[in-house]
Amino acid sequence: MDTMYYDHGTPAERWERAGMFFDAKDYAAAARVLDGLVEEVPEQTGPRLLLARAYYHSAQLRRAEAELRVIVERDPVEHYARLMLGRTLERQGRNEEARSHLRIASALAGEFDED
């Protein structure tokens, strides 16, 4: 498959292109653009988080989980990554494992159970 279109341009141009694909709900195309971008700038959270979201929305749950785990390992208080990781695990039927991530995400957002 020719991936030249997905890899073409500066990182900023590819970031913008990925966002357009994502906004158009073409999550697989967004993931193709973001995969190369994350490989090029692995230290940046934004592209990796959008890649995880694209994987999640295109039902590539194992890939979404892997990207989210990288983010959470680097930044344990990244609220949205925690929430997405919990939701991703839930979609895989791993509710017990998801519960701790969802609880942490709620706490980081200032939402506490009254129990």
Residues of the chain with pLDDT under 50: 1
> What pLDDT, in 10s, does the model give residues 42-57?
999 999 999 999 999 9
**What does the pLDDT read at residue 1?**
45
User: What are the CA-CA distances from residue 63 to residues 60, 83, 108 (Å)?
Assistant: 6, 16, 24
Cα separation, 106 vs 83, in Å, equals: 8
Tokens 């989980």 identify what position? 65
**What does the pLDDT read at residue 96?**
96
**What does the pLDDT read at residue 35?**
95
Q: Using an 8 Å Cβ cutoff, are 68 and 88 in contact?
A: yes
**What does the pLDDT read at residue 53?**
98
Residue 75: strand, helix, or coil: coil
Number of C-beta neighbours around residue 78 at 10 A: 19
Domains of the chain: 3-109 (1.25.40.10)
**What does the pLDDT read at residue 2?**
52
